[in-house]
Amino acid sequence: MTGPAHIFDKPNRYIGKSSPRADAARLLQGRGKFVDDVTLPRMVHAAFLRSPFAHATITAIDTAEAKDAPGVIAIYTGHDLTDHVTPYVGVLTHLKGLRSAPQHPLAVDVARWQGEPVVMVIATSRALAEDACELVEVDYEELPAVVDTETALDADTPVIHPEFGNNLAWERDVVAGDIDAAFAASGVQVIDREFRFGRHTGVTLESRGTLCDFDPSENELTVYYSGQAPHMMQVIFATHLDLPEENVRVISNDVGGSFGIKIHTYGDEIATAAAAKLLKRPVKFIADRFESFVTDIHARDHVIKARIGVTNDGDIVGIDLDDLTGVGPFSMYPRTSAIECNQILNLTGAPYNLDNYRAKGRVVFQNKTLMCQYRGVGHPIAMAVADGLLDDAARAIGMDPVAVRHLNLMADDSYPRASATGMKLDDLSHQKALTKLTDIMDYKGLREKQTEDRKNGIYRGIGFVSMVEVTNPSPMFYGVGGASIASQDGATVRLDAGGALHVASSITEQGQGTNAILAQIAAGVFGVALNRVKVTTGDTKTTPYGGGTWASRGAGIGGEAMLQAAQALKDQVLAVAAVMLQTSADKLDIQDGAVTDPDGTLRLPLADLARTVYYRGNELPNDLNPELIATRHYRVTDFPFVFTNGAMAAHVEVDTATGFIKVLHFWAVEDCGRVINPLLVDEQIRGGVVQGIGGALYEECQYSEDGQMLNATMADYMVPMASEMPDITVAHIETPTKTSVLGAKGAGEAGTGGAPAAILNAVNDALSPLNASIWQMPMTPERVLNAIDAAK
């Protein structure tokens, strides 16, 4: 069956899938006219019946009773949409060997995780659509669920996609030097640990949502989208709904938090767009919080066995790790679910001088919610493994954790250079950052107080991390793999007749202050007051083409494009002013909204210049063709990424009787290049630290043995709240990147990437007098007590 399974012109009368009567009724409904004396709303609402099983065959779907429910407009199953939505596959060519099965917006024949959408009901209200969902009868034949990552590759484990033969999605090996020889050398101590990281998700203030409207007269789809990458989604909607790309408009205004959650393709959103196209009317879907927990991507589900070798003098001779991660039944489209593992392989130990490095990564399918990129992709794990091992090694040889870092961190004057895994590094300041960190936290004083506290039975610990952060990604990240994901960003700056600037950027506003940064750059470069700049973002119809907001790229890439566009417009304006004032452009400037002499003497208000150009062009020379608008695009070249670096420390207290951990204070020194807006940068880092605290101490998606998520409510899924937030001191070192004029790197993910490692090390420092340690996150009270008991 194709097309709408059922369509109704009144709540209780079926008018068929396709007939002149049905088409006329839908057309009248779409225009808000009367149909048999009943006025139906033009906008309708989608609700989804989702699989209650982690793995099951769908043997039958009965919608007979639901079709007669009040307000129901249409009902769709997976098979109903197969002729209208082409399936999508989450692979990238540069991740060699990555495989995933084709995915449909609604499950077709088999449901592969609890929460996968199976049936979509369209009704005149969300409540009526939900009521009708309860009337849909679906017969399932439950199948064995693959839940345990560590047994996913066993010979007797069921295979989720039989055509693959096993549950392996991707694997990669990284080898530098000779790790076995390094570990076997005389005088080398080898420390090995098993790290476990709990799967968790980004709990955005605003849940996912979309409103899709189709105009059949123009064959155009407009999508209001709560997400991060409008141009990426424009390509996806066009490709999979068989529309010309120019006929798809995606609008993403002022999104209430994303954290990487809202940069992926979700079946319910694609299905909503398909319904709008088929019904030729607006269809709205807003995920409730339960739907968010079981459908928003998860992250960080890793089991890592790792070793570090150090000499008795503290030199690191090598790191060896084996990462196993479960990513759900599919690789997420289009960014894939292998990137997190890949980042861990690339970034573990990246701040340190390493000659020998070996890493193996395996990504496996499982019957859980899909995993993909979430704030700080891979960084919290890579930093926790390397710095957790390093602190453990320092304890083993009796060396101070700060001293061992200073000994092994790359020198600040050693750049450009590469990491052991071949990552190109430049413009970093690890040594300066660590020195500044220990100064602002009064490290010596804290150690002295710690000694006194231990005499009184108070277990406090201090933990450090030295980290890198991937920012400003180049086309070598996604574009090279065949994904339609722009690594460039664009900016347009226009002078209006009143002397104000109108700027448009492909970067989007997710609550991080993007619009303020863009306005600040444009105003500062061009020469007008901040309140004379109007910013437009998040609309594929009105903004230049670009990648949007992800991977800490807003200021570094979008900001550089804005700087270049503002400078280009300034040059154009000064060229016009030079003709009008009969001087040369190099003898003029723009300050406070007026053309001035270099010393600030007023020569010509911008409004007068603009009105002359726009209204009285006859007063200008015939060979002068003034342009009061400029567009520029910018991308990073030569480097796959622009790296930032930082040093962080946590001070914690562990109650050894209850296992509770309290973070007393947190310090972060970040080098994100040129700091454009200190307040915004500081709060981005603080917010990231709090999310890192969540992953370290509280957040975990818990599953039963049969694949049921057990804590999919805000009452059961723990997130840090105001009472758990410590004082967070933020300081900066500014080493501008040489890849741009602006010199800005990213800062949005640093806190999330570094905080878990610092807290892990602080907790283990606190537990060290008891010879106890913990290597699993979140570090819940139960796990802390188990670690203490194990040491007795």
For the stretch 270-306, pLDDT in tens is: 999 999 999 999 999 999 999 999 999 999 999 999 9
- Domain with residue 12: its CATH number is 3.30.365.10
- Rounded Cα distance, 380 and 697, in Å: 13
Give tens-digit pLDDT for 585-613.
Answer: 999 999 999 999 999 999 999 999 999 99
Provide the residue type at 444 as one letter.
K
Q: In this structure, are 628 and 689 located in the same domain? A: no
User: DSSP letter at 525?
Assistant: H
Q: In this structure, are 654 and 564 located in the same domain? A: no
Give tens-digit pLDDT for 49-95.
Answer: 999 999 999 999 999 999 999 999 999 999 999 999 999 999 999 99
354 exposure class (CB count in 10 Å sphere: 0-12, 13-18, 19+): buried
548 lies in which domain range?
6-32+488-634
Q: In this structure, are 746 and 676 located in the same domain? A: yes
Helix/strand/coil for 351? coil
- Rounded Cα distance, 656 and 784, in Å: 8
304 lies in some domain: yes
Instruction: Identify the pLDDT of residue 734.
Output: 97
Output the CA–CA distances (angstroms, integers) from residue 421 to 181, 355, 502, in the order listed.
18, 10, 44
135 lies in some domain: yes
Q: For residue 240, how far is the Cα from the chain centroid?
A: 23
Helix/strand/coil for 432? helix
Helix/strand/coil for 73? strand
In this structure, the chain runs to a length of 792
Instruction: Identify the pLDDT of residue 480.
Output: 84
Helix/strand/coil for 122? strand
Q: In this structure, are 124 and 246 located in the same domain? A: yes
At 158, give phi and psi (nearest 5°). Answer: -55, 145
CB-CB contact of 198 with 290 (8 Å): no
Instruction: Identify the pLDDT of residue 767.
Output: 98
Please say if the pLDDT value at position 167 is more than 70: yes
Q: Tokens 């936290």 — which residue? A: 441
Which has more pLDDT, 22 or 175?
Answer: 175
Provide the residue type at 783 as one letter.
R
Q: In this structure, are 419 and 367 located in the same domain? A: yes
At 114, give phi and psi (nearest 5°). Answer: -65, 120
- Domain stop point among 634, 654, 689: 634
Q: Tokens 């290597």 — which residue? A: 775
Provide the residue type at 325 as one letter.
T
Output the CA–CA distances (angstroms, integers) from residue 502 to 161, 589, 613, 697, in the order listed.
51, 20, 17, 45
Please say if the pLDDT value at position 16 is more than 70: no
- Domain with residue 106: its CATH number is 3.90.1170.50
CB-CB contact of 514 with 254 (8 Å): no
At 308, give phi and psi (nearest 5°). Answer: -130, 140
At 550, give phi and psi (nearest 5°). Answer: -170, 155
Confidence grade of residue 14 (pLDDT, cut at 50, 70, 90): very low
Nearest Cα neighbor of 790 from 771, 763, 766, 764 is 771
Looking at the DSSP bridge assignments, the partners of residue 103 are 88
Percent of the chain scoring above 90 in pLDDT: 92
- Rounded Cα distance, 258 and 752, in Å: 14
Q: In this structure, are 274 and 316 located in the same domain? A: no
49 lies in some domain: yes
171 lies in some domain: no
- Domain stop point among 634, 655, 676: 634
Tally Cβ neighbours within 10 Å of residue 451: 9
Sequence-separated (6 or more) residues with CB below 8 Å from residue 583: none
Provide the residue type at 511 as one letter.
G
Q: In this structure, are 531 and 515 located in the same domain? A: yes
Instruction: Identify the pLDDT of residue 639.
Output: 85
Q: Tokens 């209200």 — which residue? A: 125
**Measured distance between the N- and C-terminal CA atoms of the chain, rounded to whole angstroms:** 65
CB environment 221-244: b (16+ within 10 A), e (fewer): bbbbbbbbbbbbbbbbbbebbebe
96 exposure class (CB count in 10 Å sphere: 0-12, 13-18, 19+): exposed
156 lies in some domain: no
Instruction: Identify the pLDDT of residue 228.
Output: 95
Instruction: Identify the pLDDT of residue 476.
Output: 79
Q: In this structure, are 455 and 496 located in the same domain? A: no
**Residue 36 Ramachandran class (φ > 0 left, ψ -120 to 50 alpha, else beta):** left
Lowest mean pLDDT among 12-26, 316-330, 649-663: 12-26
Looking at the DSSP bridge assignments, the partners of residue 647 are 466, 669
Crossing angle of helices 379-397 and 750-767, in 10° steps, is 30
Tally Cβ neighbours within 10 Å of residue 730: 23
Provide the residue type at 291 as one letter.
E
What is the torsional sign of CA 635, 640, 645, 651?
Answer: positive
Structure tokens at 757: 């490692």
Instruction: Identify the pLDDT of residue 477.
Output: 78
Mean pLDDT, residues 683-705: 97
At 744, give phi and psi (nearest 5°). Answer: -90, 135
724 lies in some domain: yes
**Edge-to-edge strands, sheet with 283-286:** 13-14, 6-10, 72-77, 117-123, 44-50, 283-286, 209-215, 220-225, 248-251
At 670, give phi and psi (nearest 5°). Answer: -120, 135
480 lies in some domain: no
Confidence grade of residue 328 (pLDDT, cut at 50, 70, 90): very high
Max CA-CA distance within the chain?
A: 91
Element at 625 (helix H, strand E): none
Give tens-digit pLDDT for 357-389.
Answer: 999 999 999 999 999 999 999 999 999 999 999
Instruction: Identify the pLDDT of residue 41.
Output: 67
- Domain stop point among 618, 634, 650: 634
CB-CB contact of 552 with 489 (8 Å): no
Structure tokens at 297: 């991507």
**Residue 526 Ramachandran class (φ > 0 left, ψ -120 to 50 alpha, else beta):** alpha
117 lies in some domain: yes
Nearest Cα neighbor of 129 from 193, 71, 56, 53 is 71
Instruction: Identify the pLDDT of residue 34.
Output: 32
Instruction: Identify the pLDDT of residue 40.
Output: 53
- Mean pLDDT, the chain, integer: 94
Q: In this structure, are 103 and 229 located in the same domain? A: yes
Q: In this structure, are 624 and 647 located in the same domain? A: no
What total of structural domains would you count in the chain?
Answer: 3
3-state helix, strand, coil in the chain (%, to 5): 30, 25, 40
- Rounded Cα distance, 785 and 787, in Å: 5
Q: In this structure, are 454 and 527 located in the same domain? A: no
What is the torsional sign of CA 623, 624, 627, 632?
Answer: positive
Structure tokens at 128: 């009526």
pTM beyond cutoff 0.85: yes
Q: In this structure, are 569 and 450 located in the same domain? A: no
Element at 589 (helix H, strand E): strand 589-591
Give tens-digit pLDDT for 501-523.
Answer: 999 999 999 999 999 999 999 99
Instruction: Identify the pLDDT of residue 38.
Output: 45
Instruction: Identify the pLDDT of residue 638.
Output: 84
Instruction: Identify the pLDDT of residue 479.
Output: 81
In sequence order, what DSSP letters do the residues of 287-342 get, joined into one string? --HHHHHHHS-EE--EEEEEEEEEETT--EEEEEEEEEEE--SSPPTTT-SSHHHH
- Rounded Cα distance, 244 and 234, in Å: 10
Give tens-digit pLDDT for 210-253.
Answer: 999 999 999 999 999 999 999 999 999 999 999 999 999 999 99
Strand pairing class (188-197; 776-777): parallel
- Cis before residue 334, ω within 30 degrees of 0? yes
